[in-house]
Amino acid sequence: MSWSWETFLTYIADPLFMRAAMVTVWVAVVSQIIGVVVGLGVALMQLTNNPVLRTLANGYVWFWRGSPLLVQLFLLFFGLPQLGIRLNVIEAGLIGLGLNASAFMAEIIRGAILAVDRGEIEAARSLGMSRHQTMWYVILPQAARLIVPPLGNEFLSNLRTTSLLSIISFQELLRVTTLAINETFRAVELYSVAALYYLAMTTVWTLIQAAIEHRLGASSRRNDTPRRLKFAFKI
């Protein structure tokens, strides 16, 4: 069977594929937001002086980072009904991707917090700021700049990982591609279409990430620590 340009060109502009690509982006964005929010909480638990919370957080990261995402999706979608908990494909997909991403984000955020200059923390405390104020007004804003590059890379990975949701019949790009192949028997052309869509999405995000990093870098050069501490103390 030879290459069919007609099939390739028909499906590359197919509204069904375009909608599936938008669903893929939507799932990646929502799951990454879940990952950042939950990951921040887990990272703060890892850095707490409470041994129970620290142990729970480390165990959480150990499980979600150490086991394959595909197995986690199977547990959520096929395993939980055995315990009386039923999730639809959207719930299982978002929870699975979000919690998996949160474990990686927890390590990224924890590393960024630990990378903040100790002298700036001591300076904030010497100004009378509490531990809570120091964390939210001094440490986290500075850690955020360090988080952006690995966060962008994590989102890029998450965007590609959404393809695993096709295993639980989630109607994202790869699932739609597979269904189209079952109808046309044109695997090479349709997988090429899917690959181009993924390449387009990842390229757009790479450009956005580069622009964000450039802007943050320029902003960082304009600011200095005393000004940040003064602003935080006034708050």
User: Tell me, what CATH number does 72's domain have?
Assistant: 1.10.3720.10
Mean pLDDT within 195-216: 91
pLDDT tens digits, residue range 138-187? Answer: 888 888 888 888 999 999 999 999 999 999 989 899 999 999 999 999 99
pLDDT score, position 185 = 92
Return the closest-CA partner of residue 54 out of 95, 100, 119, 106. Answer: 106
pLDDT band at 220 (very low <50, low <70, confident <90, very high): low
Domain ranges, residue 138: 5-234
According to the model, what pLDDT value does residue 233 have? Answer: 45
- Structural domain count, the chain: 1
pLDDT confidence of residue 148: 87
**pLDDT at residue 231, as a whole number:** 43
Q: In 10 A of CB 138, how many CB atoms?
A: 24
Tokens 């850690």, residue located = 143
Contact 120, 138 (CB under 8 A): yes
Q: What is the mean pLDDT of residues 223-233?
A: 48
Identify which of 109, 72, 114 has the alpha carbon closest to the alpha carbon of residue 93: 72
Cβ–Cβ contacts within 10 Å for residue 208, how many? 12
pLDDT single digits (tens) 22-69: 999 999 999 999 999 999 999 999 999 899 999 999 999 999 999 999
Q: Which residue has the higher pLDDT, 219 or 106?
A: 106
Q: What digits encode the pLDDT tens for the residues 69-98? A: 999 999 999 999 999 999 999 999 999 999
* Phi/psi at 67 (5° precision): -105, 150
Neighbours of 144 (CB within 10 A): 13
